[in-house]
Structure 1
Amino acid sequence: MPMPGSPIAIAAACCLLLGGCGASAGPDQTATADPLSETQIKKALLTIDDLPSGFSKDPDLALDEEGSTDDVTQGTKQCRDLLSALNDENRGKPFGEGQVGFKEGDAGPFIEEQVTSFEGSTIKKSMATLREAFASCKEFQTKDSEGVVTEFTVAPMTFPDLGDDSIAVQLGAIESSVDFEIAMSLVVVRVDQNVVLLGNYGLGSGLGGGKFESIARTAVDKVSQASQS
């Protein structure tokens, strides 16, 4: 199902561009663990066994590595930075990354996970920068290459604190070509030198909060175990 801007892609790009996650400043003397390789990340990703019954793996939900062609037509500078990051081919390269997607049906709910691992000492700062960006970006409007306009809203979301640091926001998206809203729950969690991004969305709403919380805890636990092994 085509989505008007993946929430995972938006958060990942913001983390990379605004926080400079990929720009290593040398070995982080305060790090408690080494960054994960792509092989380690692949083993730590969610599997179908971690999802409620009725879900199936959906390769179409993997992060679009080619980026987005959407332009922000309305919104604050933070909103513009958030989306312009998706078109930046010069973003710093992480040490390792991996992603996976699942769906319950054609209209959702959809669950996306991306795990990205970084070297250097910028990861803590990047989380603070990402939090500030979401706090400053309450609503924005984008237009894609085909002229389709999408209106986004951003609001804080109540969610348990996970990992070493976490951010949770609720996004809404309405395309000009359709008459329904896509609700997106986005959770960003730092675990040592790794960032776990989880998106939960669908037409009208995503997976129920309690079930999504359980999935998020499982995802964070798996990355934490991989990081400490």
Structure 2
Amino acid sequence: MRTLCVTLLGLFLVSGCGSDEPIETSRDSQPAATEEVAEPRVLTSDELTAALLTVDDLPTGFSVDETALEDLESTDEIVRASGDSCTDLWEATETPFGDEEYVEASAAFAGGELGPFLTQDLIAVDESAVASEFATLQLAIEDCTSLVSRDADGFETSVEFAPITAPDLGDKNFAFEMRITYAYGDVEVDALATMVMTSVGGNLMILSSIAVEMGEPFEAAEFEALAQVAVARLQDAAAAR
């Protein structure tokens, strides 16, 4: 998983309205008690890769963004934060599941030089680890409303966090919005990023978009449609025997 700083620069790159309702939801439709439904499998790296979105799934004008998938070492440190839980939120977003071993697959796309940008991460761990991660993030974002990080070169990233209503896509759903300001000296660039996390058994999908102030954002319906396609593929893969 790439670091938060790198993600914000090009990957973190779903839509929803602010709400006081819990941001973790469950699917309303449940199978009848007499139905036998197989538990979703935890997928392999190859299976995760096969389940990723492709350029053909995106609107015209998008291309694969290979540079966004480069794994760079972060030197960022939090220099100001609104609450103690910001550290938990930072660490959980930078390195999900801590030191636990997991497999993942990623894809990144750009709709032009100024975006919008889209990133998809698929991670396979197990259900208990996914549930713990969701609980950690939900508690953290309720307390952490903003933070400022700075890297070794003096580049600052200011982020304001706000929970949003997550689309009802998988077993568990979590979403939040980030208003971001990148600053280096007298130069500042604003961006709006949103992230949705959805679990299918022990498999986790993170779908993120970012729009810089000079670029075009995703339409809300367009982004949610992509999220539905992405989750459907993950569900199909996890159900295959």
Corresponding residue to 2:236 among 221, 225, 229: 225
Amino acid at match of 1:215: L
Distance 2:130 2:5 in 1: 28
Equivalent residue number for residue 18 of structure 1? none
Q: Which one of the candidate residues 51, 64, 77 is aligned to 1:57?
A: 64
The question of whether the paired residues in 2 share the 8 Å contact of 1:67 and 1:87 is answered with no
1:141 aligns with 2:148: yes
The count of residues paired between Structure 1 and Structure 2 equals: 205
Identity, % of aligned positions? 28
**Coordinate RMSD, CA, aligned:** 2.5
Matched with 1:14 is none
Whether the aligned pair in 2 keeps the contact of 1:166 and 1:187 (CA below 8 Å) is: yes
For residue 121 of structure 1, report the CA deviation from its aligned partner: 2.6
Select between 77-86 and 151-160 the one with higher mean Cα deviation.
Answer: 77-86
How far did 1:51 drift? 0.6
Please name the residue that 1:92 is paired with: 100
- 1:66-215 equivalent positions in 2, closer than 5 A: 66-75=72-81, 76-84=83-91, 86=94, 91-94=99-102, 96-119=103-126, 121-177=128-184, 178-204=187-213, 206-215=217-226
TM-score normalised by structure 2 residue count: 0.77
Structure with the bigger RCO (C-alpha within 8 Å, sep 6+) is: 2
> Deviation above 6 Å: which 4+ runs of structure 1?
none
Letter in 2 for 1:71: E
Larger radius of gyration: 2
Q: Secondary structure at the match of 2:161?
A: strand
**Does 1:45 pair with 2:52?**
yes
Question: Offset of 1:61 from its aligned partner?
Answer: 1.7
CA separation of 1:84 and 1:164: change in aligned 2, threshold 3 A: closer
Contact 1:170 1:183 (C-alpha < 8 Å) held by counterparts: yes
> Which runs of 5 or more structure 1 residues have no equivalent in the other structure?
10-30
Task: State the shift of 1:123 in Å.
Answer: 1.9
TM-score normalised over the length of structure 1: 0.81
Gaps of 5+ in 2: 13-37
Shift of 1:92: 1.1
SS at match of 2:126: coil
Q: In structure 1, what is the Cα distance between the partners aligned to 2:142 and 2:60?
A: 35
Code of the aligned partner of 2:68: L
Cα distance in 2, alignment partners of residues 60 and 66 from structure 1: 10
